[in-house]
Amino acid sequence: MKVLVVEDHSIVIAGCRAMFADDPDVQLLAARTVEEGRGMQVTERPDVTVVDINLPDGSGLDLARDLSGDGAKVIVFTMSDAPVLAMQAIESGAQGYVSKSGDPEELRDAVYAVRSGRRWLPSALLQEVALLRVDQSRRALMLSDRQIQILKALVRGKSMAEIADDLDVCYKTVATDCAAMRSKLNARTSTEMVRVASEMKIV
């Protein structure tokens, strides 16, 4: 089994090698950047790819999305154990999520699970991710039909003035709806509001 680790810290790569040292069937490969990871995915065709979120030349989540879209089995491996980040990783197409701050054996378990076609999350995160999804669904249901229309228009790049014209309402109405949606979606800016709404599959 080929395991590609896309990670820019040598000590983490060394730890991964040590973790699988007793399994002669595992060949561990390493890439240090998004670009290297993409290249090795093509040339080596690993069975499982382990991706750090923060890489020198880009986002590991974007890489996970790209590789998963091409059929790769991906595990996101990062310092954070935040459930919202775990959910984003899974929604990006990753089949597994492991925190570097957890039990080192969790990565090993995740690799074997994902290789066999199963999803893998640390048990401590499973319930939190499930509850977060329920909470986001409830918040989505609190948006009115007009607010959904406004969100979709913002995603298409329209200004609030243009949206007001399209919906035949005054600018203040659109601005008030945007403020209400930012509050409901816990977003500080309209850009963040659109990103959260997209992640929640509202638009």
pLDDT at 134: 46
Rg (CA), the chain: 20
- Tell which wins on pLDDT, 196 or 22: 22
Give the model confidence (pLDDT) of 15-65 as tens digits: 999 999 999 999 999 999 999 999 999 999 999 999 998 899 988 889 999
Dihedral (Cα; 3, 20, 125, 117), 10-degree rounding: 50
Q: Which helix (H) or strand (E) holds 47?
A: none
Could you tell me the two tokens for 78? 């990062």
Highest mean pLDDT among 6-15, 120-129, 144-153 belongs to 6-15
% of the chain surpassing 90 pLDDT: 54
For helices 60-69 and 34-44, what crossing angle results, to 10°? 20
